[in-house]
Structure 1
Amino acid sequence: MTGTADATSEVSNSPGEALSWGHPAMEVEFATASDGTLRLVRLGGGPGDRVDPESALPLVELTALGHGSGWSGSRFTGTALGSRLRYRAHRTGRRADWEWLTLELHDRATGLTAFVELTSPTGVPVLRSRVRLRNEGGQPLVVQSVSSLLLGGLPSPDALDVHRARNDWLAECRWWAEPLRASVADINVDVHQHDSRAALVLTGRGSWPTDGHLPMGALTERDGGRTWLWQIESPAGWRWDLGEHARGGYLALNGPTDAEHQWRVRLAPGAECTTVPAALALGSGFDAAMGALTSYRRAVRRPHPDHTTLPVVFNDYMNTLMGDPTTQKLLPLIDAAAEAGAEYFCVDAGWYDDSADGGWWDSVGAWLPSSRRFPDGGIGAVLDRIRERGMVPGLWLEPEVVGVRSPIASALPPEAFFQRDGVRLAEQGRHQLDLRHPAARAHLDETVDRIVGDWGVGYLKLDYNIVVDPGTCAPGDIAPGAGLLGHAQAYLGWLSDVLDRHPGLVVENCASGGMRMDGATLAVTQLQSTSDQQDPLSYPPIAASAPTVAPPEQGAVWAYPQPEFDDDLIAFTLGGALLGRIHLSGHLDRMSEQQFGLVRDAVSTYKSIRGELTTAVPFWPLGLPGWTDEWLALGMRVPGGSSYVSVWRRGGEPELRFPLRHLAGRDARTEILHPSTPGAGTAAWDGHGLRVTLPRTPGVLLIRLTS
């Protein structure tokens, strides 16, 4: 969202009956309720979707010390300060392909001003919101929570299903749905003359923002099909809650709060703070809303050539070297990866380890290559071999941690590390750098400039394998959650500066697989690790759900065929990555000629379709997969072009038919692109459904449909 404003207007008077803003794909309307607060009364749709202001919610809810909730309960609604904020002015404009609106709300009692900053990419039904607070009063104010986006006036919880996603190590992106009424009971409001205090609340805590759950969710109207899909773009804590208000549903999206994350900010007179952004996508169903969110993610992220070229990456770790690289082991892998069609080769963990027993975990931090592992020519000889074979060299790095036995732990000042009550924190034998401190930042700048600038490395896999909860209290922090968010945002700022200095560098975001799959980080990095899952039979539900988190060109899926696999299992593990980003691994150097041909054919197939994935949007013909589903399917729809469907069979009957609604009633030609061996399965389109046979398990097909 950069560029000069093409148009700007400012209004300082009362909004009157209504204030409208947006574009044809995202029409927004505001009105003033009887209590004087400005409220969002229409989002998308036509005039008939406008709700009564009394059913909507104030634009901002917040709490501060001495200014708590208006009534008791765990819901994030009805706050004392939120009910006092009054409209003061608004400004509109356009920057590049984004429409923007800033609404200015003011509380006379404290002097607090809230700037509600709304943006939307033109033509995309997604609203992005964040709130900036400024203390224009004469006394300090300690803020404990601030909403990023509030939406009331939704249909009754009786008519809504809520979708959420468990996100655990080795079991990422597990979506499920249930009626909202299962969590928010009908208490008979007519009898009590009051809304329920119940709420469905989901939070993410600590320095792994996607550990436990994705910072996402969706509401689907059971009969009408409308969907409201959201993500909270926080690299640290977050919270969302759903409940009932004025007989309708409501949604509240927040970053970290005092109650859940020990987040507080002291605003001195004249000081400001800004919430993390939240984005809300609309659609006529879950797939349509996810398509809109995919387009938004492409619009909001940092531009980079990798997003259009989608090079194939070989990484030596998964089920292969597993953190034990040496020159002797790497050279044949490099040759085989190049022959298979890889374009990048990443040496994963262990390249810095000079210990005889592999005990590097609590001694990392200097990031210098091992002479024991690379005795002849050092690591430079390995990197040169990668370049000689026509690939770009990459290295694994865990920049934010310093082992307790590392010389860096004593070389940097204590203030450069996470601390609480004056004590430097340690987790699993490691200290955590605080990227707000100049010494920590200088150390990492020197490290990356050496690896990228001096050694010529063009790919960094940035990992993060500890979790700190609730955070750090450096000088100036009044609560550890605020320190954690400050560091996380500083880390992304540091990473942006690295990419400014090295614009050709490709960065993969990893945190024990998918423990950091948040929208804030994905907007800066080029690739996203989806899992550390080592079982090829367990990866399909992760691969099929990965596009809910990242566009296909950013979602890195492991494909680790092995010489001990039969042909079906080789095809199965390769097929899971063909609608995302191939992260090739496996002992390719030990394969037979026939096995290696299967790998080479899959990589060639991927290269033939990857250009279309850069604009494709996902859909799920069988719905989002369950962890133990026997049949799974992921589709990619290319605007104005072909549709691709990956189908996996892990059990059940050998034949399945399912609809593809966007092709219903039309002729379509089907092609099986993967696997290349005959007899793996069949696919036929009958005008309304796709009939697939997979005679053996495990089985996979990649099918192209051209209408």
Structure 2
Amino acid sequence: MVAISWDNGSSVLDFQGGDDGPIRLVDIRDADGAQASPVTGRPGQPLVEILTPRWGNQTWGTSARHSGTRVGEQLRYVSHTVDADRLTITQADPASGLQVMSTLSSLPGVAAVRSQTSVSALDGAAPVTLWAVTSFAADVVISPDLNNLDVWSAKSSWAAENRWGSQPLRARGLARIDASARGELIRDAVAISSIGTWSSGAVNPAGAVRDQATGRTLAWQIEHNGGWLAEVGELRNAHGHGGYLALLGPTDARHHWSFVVDAEHSFTTVPVTIAVADSFDDAFGRLADHRRAARRDHRQNSTLPVIFNDYMNTLIGDPSEDKLLPLIDAAAEVGSEYFCIDAGWYDDTAGWWASVGDWEPSTVRFPRGLTFILDHIRDRGMVPGVWMEPEVVGITSNAARSLPDSAFLQRGGVRITERDRYLLDLRSPAAVDHLNAAVDRLINDLGVGFFKFDYNVTPGPGTDLDTPSVGHGLLEHNRALLAWLDALLDRHPDLVIENCGSGAMRSDFAMLSRLALQSTSDQEDPRLYPAIAVGALVHILPEQAGNWAYAQPEMTDEEIVFTMCTGLAGRLYQSGHLDRMTPQQRQLVAVGIAVHKEIRGDLVRSTPRFPTGLPSWDDPWTTVALDAGEVAYVICWRQADAPESVRLDLGGLTGEATAVEQLYPAPGVGSDWHAELSGSGLELTAAAGVSARLFRLTLR
């Protein structure tokens, strides 16, 4: 028997394996012993599972699961190395000729563990085709009782992102059957996965398994901007019985991915990160700690400048000199620090969709030139920015004719066309050169300091050009995109880039480890936005969650406060026809922006808490608490038909609330709200109608 214990200073992970079986994770516990209850996993699930066409599954019959693979069961311990921040475990399977190395790492002071798997060929082994490789797999170490487990995930679609919910594991398809009959194992699993390059287009690349009885939670995120798969299922083998979690990048069955490992070619999976804590909020709080420690260093990470964007519910992709100049003045007046000209600035027609790709400023929209507009933004004390969709080329653009076919994702020698766009293949030097020339020109010649990088179309499974599989071609493109972003930010370290993907269709940590903020939605109805904004905080840092605050002149004061509070629930992203507002209305927006500037130093160290639970789409009240240690900010939205009162559970905060004050809007503005601390809760009462408030709690 081989026993490995890794203490990274925050967590201790124990592994077992030996001659009778592969290495398995059997326990996760806090290094300081402070956890409420010890966790003892059953050593049943191998740390690595590998599906191949030759070796298939170990279990009887056919299964679509990625637990119980023959190679995974045949792996045996070879060696390991332990450092304070890294553990590597090497195993081999002489029968298949494969060797695997699991690399688990942590960052100082962070109780979360990142995991990847590398697969190579043993000396003299025949080539092996891979169909799936786990980045991480383990027993559900929070509880041995499957009947007590809830599976959490978040459905997502355009303008309806971050819809978190849970169901008991059993109720989601894992029926209780007699697993001893015929030696059969359960073939079902709760599985969620991405579609093409929209990593969060159908479901977010994060989730959790929670013990209903204790609240203890195993939370996870898959840090990839393309294909991924997560499974929770029931495991029964010679080593144990219980639940398992498997996290993977692209697979053959889901993403048309395969790869051949031989003497010259190895493969490394996408990174994933897990965290275990005694509550849902704390487990995802530990993942938030990991995100802050692992993201690219940038001065704006702590300063959080206020960005005004002219698109949402405002110019809607139709900018011009006469529309922009008064809007720029109004944005500066209320305190904006960046001003982004969104889609259409490069197009001389009434439309902008099919002409993307050349990125040359329109002379029709800007008779005195785009430089005149950008100079005006700078003269008003703001940094200018523009929208781009760098990975696409419109079919009417010059780039569509001048770039070679090899610069585009393709199938069967034909460029993939989606809604009058071709998609660049960033494995291509020609595609990279085209983008570098465009972006560097805008930065160096025009002084652009901010980009909104959008992504509105997806190529499906991938490309078959110069690749062993369609899915692997897409994986290489996804990784090339990340490398291009790294190189861009290396050249221009002060550049601020927003990650947008038709709203939040690509809100994964692979992108957010590099880019400054994430659009949380394209939702245009301010009443529907709070549920999206609060749900985003589970897997996006508050300081990266770019929530639109699109105040409008036709709104009542309460409606302006409502949409401003949505912006204040994360990274304030301002829009709206401010130039058409009355001075009183603009002042209400300006006060909201001033509040953001007041609290943003706390925002960058806050942990989201959900005092009325994670929101559902039709909740009459939506609430969130941003817990920064000595202080917490509570934001509450009331829908028109909501009961007049609601109680918030503050028991999850890091300290006891001793005082509450209404921070936005100022007391006396709008209808009266009453807030009173009561035990470990906050009692709120509001007059009828749509309204919202931001409160500050003092904690001890």
TM-score band (shorter)? over 0.9
Aligned-partner Cα distance in 2 for 1:584–1:400: 25
Instruction: Tell me the residue number matched to 1:124.
Output: 110
Of 116, 128, 133, 1:141 maps to 128
Aligned-partner Cα distance in 2 for 1:187–1:330: 65
Instruction: Tell me the residue number matched to 1:151.
Output: 138
1:665 is displaced (CA, Å) by: 9.3
Aligned-partner Cα distance in 1 for 2:667–2:576: 20
User: Which one is further off, 129-138 or 179-188?
Assistant: 129-138
Instruction: Tell me the residue number matched to 1:13.
Output: none
Of 165, 178, 183, 1:176 maps to 165
Aligned-partner Cα distance in 1 for 2:538–2:307: 22
1:92 is displaced (CA, Å) by: 2.1
| Conserved 8 A contact 2:229-2:249 | yes
| Conserved 8 A contact 2:90-2:100 | yes
Q: Which amino acid aligns with 2:72?
A: G
* 2:189 aligned with 1:199: yes
| Conserved 8 A contact 2:216-2:279 | yes
Aligned-partner Cα distance in 1 for 2:401–2:561: 50
1:24 is displaced (CA, Å) by: 4.5
Aligned-partner Cα distance in 1 for 2:494–2:163: 34
| Conserved 8 A contact 1:664-1:688 | no
Instruction: Tell me the residue number matched to 1:8.
Output: none
| Conserved 8 A contact 2:98-2:122 | yes
Aligned-partner Cα distance in 1 for 2:322–2:447: 21
Aligned-partner Cα distance in 2 for 1:531–1:63: 36
Instruction: Tell me the residue number matched to 1:39.
Output: 24
User: Which one is further off, 35-44 or 494-503?
Assistant: 35-44
Superposition TM-score, scaled by structure 2 size: 0.95
Instruction: Tell me the residue number matched to 2:424.
Output: 433
Instruction: Tell me the residue number matched to 2:692.
Output: 700
* 2:506 aligned with 1:509: no
Aligned-partner Cα distance in 1 for 2:42–2:649: 39
| Conserved 8 A contact 1:26-1:120 | no
Q: Which amino acid aligns with 1:62?
A: I
SS in 2 for 1:447: helix
Instruction: Tell me the residue number matched to 2:457.
Output: 466
1:686 is displaced (CA, Å) by: 2.3
Aligned-partner Cα distance in 2 for 1:573–1:328: 26
Aligned-partner Cα distance in 2 for 1:498–1:654: 51
Superposition TM-score, scaled by structure 1 size: 0.94
* 2:58 aligned with 1:64: no
Distance verdict in 2 for CA 1:523–1:667, change over 3 Å: closer
Aligned-partner Cα distance in 2 for 1:224–1:549: 22
Aligned-partner Cα distance in 2 for 1:43–1:663: 24
1:153 is displaced (CA, Å) by: 5.2
Q: Deviations over 1:45-69 (max 9, x none)?
A: 579533343xx21111112232211
| Conserved 8 A contact 2:649-2:682 | yes
1:219 is displaced (CA, Å) by: 0.9
SS in 2 for 1:195: coil
Q: Deviations over 1:632-689 (max 9, x none)?
A: 10111113x1011101110321111222004699451111011125144121112321
1:604 is displaced (CA, Å) by: 0.7
Instruction: Tell me the residue number matched to 1:80.
Output: 70
Aligned-partner Cα distance in 2 for 1:555–1:22: 33
SS in 2 for 1:570: helix
Distance verdict in 2 for CA 1:664–1:21, change over 3 Å: closer
1:190 is displaced (CA, Å) by: 4.6
Instruction: Tell me the residue number matched to 1:306.
Output: 300
| Conserved 8 A contact 2:77-2:92 | yes
Aligned-partner Cα distance in 1 for 2:109–2:243: 27
Aligned-partner Cα distance in 1 for 2:140–2:285: 24
What are structure 1's unaligned runs of at least 5 residues? 1-15
* 2:333 aligned with 1:339: yes
* 2:360 aligned with 1:368: yes
SS in 1 for 2:21: coil
| Conserved 8 A contact 2:140-2:245 | no
* 2:267 aligned with 1:269: no
Instruction: Tell me the residue number matched to 2:100.
Output: 114
1:17 is displaced (CA, Å) by: 4.1
| Conserved 8 A contact 1:157-1:184 | no
SS in 2 for 1:172: coil
Q: Deviations over 1:448-498 (max 9, x none)?
A: 1001121111000000110111111121x1211111111011011101100
| Conserved 8 A contact 1:663-1:688 | no
1:33 is displaced (CA, Å) by: 5.6
1:109 is displaced (CA, Å) by: 2.8
Aligned-partner Cα distance in 2 for 1:677–1:468: 51
Aligned-partner Cα distance in 2 for 1:207–1:51: 35
Q: Which amino acid aligns with 1:208?
A: W
| Conserved 8 A contact 1:666-1:687 | no
Aligned-partner Cα distance in 2 for 1:407–1:201: 43
Instruction: Tell me the residue number matched to 1:6.
Output: none
Q: Which amino acid aligns with 1:435?
A: L
Q: Deviations over 1:345-394 (max 9, x none)?
A: 00000000112x32x32222110000000002x00000000000000000
Q: Which amino acid aligns with 2:194?
A: G
Instruction: Tell me the residue number matched to 1:7.
Output: none
Aligned-partner Cα distance in 1 for 2:451–2:603: 23
Aligned-partner Cα distance in 1 for 2:518–2:653: 31
Aligned-partner Cα distance in 1 for 2:667–2:160: 30
Aligned-partner Cα distance in 2 for 1:201–1:552: 28
Aligned-partner Cα distance in 2 for 1:442–1:136: 38
Distance verdict in 2 for CA 1:101–1:127, change over 3 Å: same
Instruction: Tell me the residue number matched to 1:416.
Output: 407
What are structure 2's unaligned runs of at least 5 residues? none
Q: Which amino acid aligns with 1:111?
A: G
Of 457, 466, 481, 1:491 maps to 481
SS in 2 for 1:439: helix
Q: 5 Å matches for 1:587-606? A: 587-606=577-596
Q: Deviations over 1:1-59 (max 9, x none)?
A: xxxxxxxxxxxxxxx44110023531101111663311111112579533343xx2111
| Conserved 8 A contact 1:142-1:264 | yes
| Conserved 8 A contact 1:35-1:83 | no
Q: 5 Å matches for 1:183-194? A: 183-191=173-181, 193-194=183-184
1:108 is displaced (CA, Å) by: 1.7
Distance verdict in 2 for CA 1:192–1:658, change over 3 Å: farther
1:282 is displaced (CA, Å) by: 1.0
Distance verdict in 2 for CA 1:213–1:692, change over 3 Å: same
Distance verdict in 2 for CA 1:395–1:680, change over 3 Å: farther
SS in 2 for 1:196: coil
| Conserved 8 A contact 2:547-2:569 | no
Q: Which amino acid aligns with 2:6?
A: W
Q: Which amino acid aligns with 2:55?
A: H
Residues matched between the structures, number? 681
| Conserved 8 A contact 2:609-2:652 | no
Instruction: Tell me the residue number matched to 2:442.
Output: 451
Distance verdict in 2 for CA 1:593–1:417, change over 3 Å: same
* 2:4 aligned with 1:19: yes
Q: Which amino acid aligns with 2:265?
A: A
Aligned-partner Cα distance in 2 for 1:310–1:26: 31
Of 617, 623, 626, 1:633 maps to 623
Aligned-partner Cα distance in 2 for 1:255–1:547: 23
Distance verdict in 2 for CA 1:542–1:52, change over 3 Å: closer
| Conserved 8 A contact 2:2-2:18 | no
* 2:199 aligned with 1:213: no
Aligned-partner Cα distance in 2 for 1:105–1:73: 24
Aligned-partner Cα distance in 2 for 1:42–1:192: 31
Q: 5 Å matches for 1:643-654? A: 643-650=632-639, 651-654=641-644
SS in 2 for 1:151: strand
Q: Deviations over 1:188-230 (max 9, x none)?
A: 3355544311211111121111111111111110111110111
Q: 5 Å matches for 1:264-303? A: 264-303=258-297
SS in 2 for 1:700: strand
